[in-house]
Amino acid sequence: MKTNTKYIFVTGGVISGVGKGIMAASIGAILKAKGLKVSMQKCDPYFNVDAGLLNPREHGECFVTNDGAETDLDLGHYERFLDEEMSGNSIWTSGKLYKKLIDDERAGKFGGKTVQLVPHVTGLVQQTFIDNAKHFGTDVHIVEIGGTVGDLEGSHFIEAIREFPTKVGRENCLFVHVCYVPWLSTSEEFKTKPAQNSLRDLREFGIVPDMVVARMDIDKTPRAPQVAKKLATFCGVNEDAVVLMPDAKSVYEVPLNAVKGGVLAPLERFIDHGDPDITIWEDLVKRIEANPRKEVKIGLVAKYIDNTDTYLSVTEALKAAAWKVGVKLKIVWINAEEATETDFEAVDGIVVPGGFGVRGVEGKISAATYCLEHDKPYLGLCLGMQTAVIAAARRGGLAKANSEEFAETDENVVYIMEGQKGKESTGGTMRLGDYPAKLVKNSKLAQIYGATDVVERHRHRYEVNQKFLKEIEKGGLVVAGTSPDGKLVEFVEAPDCKYFVATQAHPEFRSRPYRAHPLFEGLIKACK
């Protein structure tokens, strides 16, 4: 098959969490800086169909794409680094893969043939690469293989990428292996044996990488360059294709570190398209490394504070806003189950993020109540809007005001959306993805956005009950934006507060490190 598309496959070794997602996104950012059109994809070995029902404490954030797919948090990295929107087909789990094959088999699409790992599973995996590259019209399609090389559960993905060059040509495929090189303090030396072993595991599959990325602490010793020579000698790669990557203070330093570490040489052998213009990353890192005098403390009222990756896009959106405004950001984690007024007093502004379940919800309602009564800057996201509405309704005279998700009362100011009843434990059934909204002309939110027509991403099945708008308004909140047909409340604001805004959406998913989202920027400015 002839193709004009180049494919890059990124694998990881030695340990999980080695940073191959960030590295893959950084390679994509560098190639985009060369003027190339880049798309990305992740293949994850778990058998969940998507990330929608995964425990956030264990797996971190569920990132929602514009077409409504519930995905791995790495797709958030891809979007932030490339400033390109992914889709539901930008991630394929083993569960999603096998479900499609089984559905096709049950529908008789295999004509009675035996369905096997090879060629049917591997063939479907390969087809996703081709289909994604075609869909996005890309010059380079980057595929991250989740898990660690050698893991049994990911072997079908490894086999698929091994076979793939026979379809598109070896010259159109670049294999990148990210591995960890530990520093042994007792002997004061880097140990390359674990990396060598992970590369051997990869070679046993029949894949010799074109680039090896060695994660390490380069500042430990001047002997680090010897690591590149050793890995090249024992692993069969060019020495200039071994990229030494130090730990970074911010993930947004990684594209620059990759260029400094020598990533351009193997990339240019693969696809030569001029020098990258990395000005945007240089400017961003300068802002990140700046040390402004003014510090802003933002209280994040949440329940999964033992795994802050649950709120990764929120924290990244706050950082981007702080860099834009030019202040030092301190995120103060407030346990929603134990929150007190003392916690709220100690911060300059409050964010209540999205979430599900009754645990900690009264703490989130208390946070909204405090901000309404003390004119403290507040940003509510999804559940954070619903708890704000409950807080206002209680202030407006509805003592039993609550959400249908949490209580059965005749004052449920938040109720389940039409068509959602009975689907509460079912994956992929919520209102998901991009939806338009109409903001009230001259509202604070319209001023913040600089527009009355906006689009944001959603992930919810509960909605504000407009039957109680009178009481909600009496408690201090007004509707500032609805769905175009007016049936769904999408935004609320407090006219008497300096900055109290909330949305049913998840604007954090559309924030970029070098282009802060206006709602987060507005919050930081109000706290300055």
Pairing type for strands 189-190 and 140-145 reads unpaired
Superfamily of domain 6-285: P-loop containing nucleotide triphosphate hydrolases (3.40.50.300)
Active site residue 506: yes
Of 411, 506, 517, 521, catalytic: 506
Domain pair 6-285 / 293-527, same fold: yes
Active site residue 508: yes
Name the residue type at position 346: A
Name the residue type at position 126: Q
- What end-to-end distance do the CA atoms of the chain give, in Å? 58
The whole-number mean pLDDT for each consecutive block of 10 residues of the chain, a chain of 528 residues, reads 86 85 96 96 93 83 95 95 95 96 94 92 96 95 93 92 96 95 81 89 93 82 74 86 90 95 94 92 95 95 90 97 97 96 97 93 97 98 98 96 93 90 80 96 97 97 95 97 96 97 98 97 96
Q: Are 40 and 86 within 8 A, CB to CB?
A: yes
The b-or-e profile of 18-57 (16+ CB within 10 A means b, else e) is: bbbbbbbbbbbbbbbbbebebbbbbbbbbebbbbbebebe
Q: Are 22 and 77 within 8 A, CB to CB?
A: yes
pLDDT of 491: 98
CATH number, span 293-527: 3.40.50.880
pLDDT of 29: 97
Domain boundaries, given as residue ranges, for the chain: 6-285, 293-527
pLDDT of 219: 66
Residues in the chain: 528
* 353 prior amide bond cis, ω within 30: no
pLDDT of 250: 93
DSSP, collapsed to helix, strand or coil, labels residue 415 as strand
Residue 345 neighbours by CB distance under 10 Å: 11
Pairing type for strands 173-180 and 211-216 reads parallel
What sign for the dihedral angle of Cα 140, 146, 151, 153? negative
Contacts of 165 (CB under 8 A, 6+ apart): 172, 173
Q: Which two tokens stand for residue 421?
A: 């009843």
| Structure letter (DSSP) for residue 148 | -
Active site residue 173: no
Max CA distance (Å), the chain: 75
CA distance 68 to 508: 15
Of 382, 463, 490, 497, catalytic: 382
Of 253, 405, 411, 508, catalytic: 508
Q: Are 20 and 210 within 8 A, CB to CB?
A: no
pLDDT of 220: 60
Rounded to two decimals, the pTM is 0.94
CA distance 461 to 417: 6
Phi, psi values for residue 389, rounded to 5° = -65, -40
Q: Which two tokens stand for residue 411?
A: 């004052």
Q: Are 14 and 34 within 8 A, CB to CB?
A: no
Q: Can you name the residues that pair with 173 across neighbouring β-strands?
A: 7
